[in-house]
Amino acid sequence: MAISRTAQISVAIATFGILAFIFGVIAENKKPASGNPIQVKDIVICKYPADATVALGSLSVVTLFISSILGITAVFFPYKGQSVPTKALFQSTTLVVFFAVAVSVSVLAEGMMMWASITEGLHRVRNVHHDLQTGCPTAKTGLFGGAAFLALDASLFWLVCQMLTLNARADYLEDDDPKGDYGQVLATDYEVNATKIKV
């Protein structure tokens, strides 16, 4: 049994979001507290253990980016070949709020994960120091883990946006009720009922 396009997009958003979370958490756990300083004459060379912290952080950045792109696609995708104008979609205040939060959390998670990965990479590349008191620093503790949890939150917000989008699409595409909105009385109905009362 083939799953629907909606379900495929949902599964893809969740999968890449969970992968970004897992890569970020593993990067946080693998990151050493500091490097080993080796003094040579009047310089200190920092030797860091071989680990995949930078690679895992980079993978987390890439998978979070894919999850976010899929989330944006889920909002604007023409399900069943029927597109809905953006203005009609964003008449829903709830969708606007969740879309703004999803974008903000995605950007924040991307920024934090990139900051941690780039900082860790720079510490490993620029490992020669003239300060003999250097402690061979690494990226701040908690950056990878915090970014990982934000990445998971971002994918969840994108899934909520997809559900709200489907609701807004259903409201826009449903057939108009000939009786009008709730509480609205059409003039012809009033005239028919008035003549029945007189008779």
Of 105, 98, 78, 68, the closest CA to residue 166 belongs to 78
| Domains in the chain: boundaries | 5-178
To 5 degrees, how large is the angle CA 59–CA 10–CA 172? 135
CA atoms of 19 and 36, how far apart (whole Å): 31
**pLDDT at residue 47, rounded to an integer:** 86
The pTM of this model reads 0.79
CA atoms of 9 and 66, how far apart (whole Å): 11
CA atoms of 127 and 136, how far apart (whole Å): 8
- Residue 129 parent element (H or E): strand 128-129
**pLDDT at residue 1, rounded to an integer:** 40
**pLDDT at residue 186, rounded to an integer:** 54
User: pLDDT in tens for each of the 199 residues of the chain?
Assistant: 446 888 899 999 999 999 999 999 999 998 888 778 788 888 888 888 888 889 999 999 999 999 999 999 989 888 777 888 888 888 888 999 999 999 999 999 999 999 999 998 888 888 887 777 777 888 888 889 999 999 999 999 999 999 999 888 888 887 444 445 555 555 555 565 556 666 5
**pLDDT at residue 10, rounded to an integer:** 92
Could you tell me if 68 and 105 are in contact, meaning their C-beta atoms sit under 8 angstroms apart? no
**pLDDT at residue 135, rounded to an integer:** 77
Single-letter residue type at 3 = I
Backbone angles phi, psi at 39, to 5 degrees: -90, 125
CA atoms of 99 and 113, how far apart (whole Å): 21
- The residue with tokens 């009033």 is 190
